[in-house]
Amino acid sequence: MNMSPLKVGQEFLVTIKRIGINGEGIGYYKKQAVFIPGTLVGEEVVATCTRVAGGYAEAELVRVKKKSRHRCQPACEVYGQCGGCQLQHMTYPEQLRIKRDAIWQAVERYTNLDPEELDIRPTMGMDNPYNYRNRAQMPVGYDEDGVMVGFYSMNSRELVNVTDCEVQYEEINKVVNHAVDLLDDYKVFAYAPKTKKGTARHIVVRRGYRTGEIQVTFVLANKDFKKMYSLALDLMKYCPEVKSVYVNYNSDDTHEIFGPDMIKVAGEDFITDRLGKFKFNLSPRAFYQLNPEQTVKLYNQVKYAASLTGTEKVVDAYCGVGTIGQWVADQASEVRGVDITRAAIIDAKANAKLNNIDNTYYAVGKAESIVPKWANEGFKPDVVIVDPPRTGMGPELIEMLKRVQPKRIVYVSCNPSTLAKNLKELTKKYRVDYIQPIDMFPQTSHVEAVVRLTRMDKSEKVKKDSRR
């Protein structure tokens, strides 16, 4: 059994060699990998070991002895306490570089591809990498001043008070603070999961990117509070941009924010927003990208990668509320979307109608089952767009794609590791034309990517197989 050279509580000196997928610096102490949040490549740091696990250790930064030129002052007062952001100590150009590098490392680790030979493009960033999130989901708690909201600290359930989140719209911060004051005024106490006492669990606020309309949802653990209508009217009076107020009841011991009961309290049924030429009605449960400015870039990259001429049949797998498929629909003969969530398909149909798109069709179910059925009926896709969750595509869907063999696959990824694992299988029949990283969440370690894959002809496949 290998003994770790580090003990919990031990202080040590180490040089950071690279950045991990969660934004932490990685150094090597006597050949053992050590993960240290808040550090940068090339820095010499003093750290204290906090955990020893199989083959690696975790540590907490004590001080930086040799600083990187990419280190900067975080904008947020509670950075390092709040677990929402991981990279505010890093200059933005360096954030973009390490996000591209995260994809490079994943390809190198999980595939047989040589990243040197791939066209992995520079990460598309933002002109202003702050105040970009259009939605806040903030747990309610207590501090010495009474009711407060915030975000949980890294890897814990300790709530950090946040009154001015640097990555949310400023208007959202303003509305959240007014909502907190009203909860205090109306004596709506924060819910404590351990004792199951109290009422208020979360405040959820969404703002339209183009319209400026705001929707607020109060998530309560029970129906003890009887004056929600009065509170809602007060909030709309103080914040006229609030057009819609809901209450949601969630009494379950769960990590899910919303419970089954969603009730409109005051104002409109939904708020509206626009992305490009498209209009969307947003109810509290409706899925909508959190960074609209970068979403336009993402969807335009999908459209570019699809290379449509007006004659192609397109499948939008994991279609959600239909936004990506509808974005490309004007250059396709027909777009068919499929998703396992019935509510999402209902929204997708409504969005198509709202935007006068008449060449879309939607079905509830698994793409790996429905797409072959469509192919047997004569709808064989030329292009398949996939936008899977962080877990990536399942083996059944990959096998379906290899069997149906569309000319092109456009893969939208939010996880470099699962992307690379999927590419290992897909590149048995497809070549990777390029990978375009996009920074949807500045100041965090997350990176999205659009990948264009083209079906190899026989000569390409023979050449590829001969290299093995």
Residues annotated as catalytic (active site), given as ranges: 414
Q: What angle do CA 264, 270, 274 make, to 5 degrees?
A: 165
289 annotated ligand binder = yes
Q: Which of 86, 2, 4, 87 is nearest to 51 (CA)?
A: 4
Query: 313-317 and 334-339: which strand pairing?
Result: parallel
Which tokens belong to 180?
């907190």
SS3 98: helix
Per-position DSSP letters for 130-161, written without gaps between them? SS-B-EEEEEEEEETTEEEEEEEBTTS-PEEE
Which tokens belong to 150?
């915030």
Q: Which of 455, 451, 453 is nearest to 404 (CA)?
A: 455
The span from the CA of 437 to the CA of 118, in Å, is 13
Long-range pairs, 68-72, Cβ under 8 A, ≥24: 68/40, 68/41, 68/42, 68/43, 70/40, 70/41, 70/94, 71/40, 71/43
299 annotated ligand binder = no
Classify residue 124 by its DSSP letter: B
Per-position DSSP letters for 356-398, written without gaps between them? T--SEEEEES-HHHHHHHHHHTT---SEEEE---TT---HHHH
Q: What angle do CA 391, 118, 314 make, to 5 degrees?
A: 55
Which tokens belong to 238?
């103080």
Q: Tell me how far CA of residue 289 lies from CA of 3, 134, 146, 433, in angstroms.
A: 46, 8, 33, 26
304 annotated ligand binder = no
Which tokens belong to 30?
């006597």
Classify residue 117 by its DSSP letter: G
184 annotated ligand binder = no
CB 428 within 8 A of CB 422: no
Element (H, E) at 207: strand 200-207
Q: Tell me how far CA of residue 436 lies from CA of 111, 260, 296, 322, 350, in angstroms.
A: 18, 38, 14, 22, 31
The span from the CA of 414 to the CA of 389, in Å, is 7
Task: Indicate the residue type of 284.
Answer: P
Binding residues for S-adenosyl-L-methionine: 289, 318, 339, 387
Q: Binding-site residues, please? A: 289, 318, 339, 387
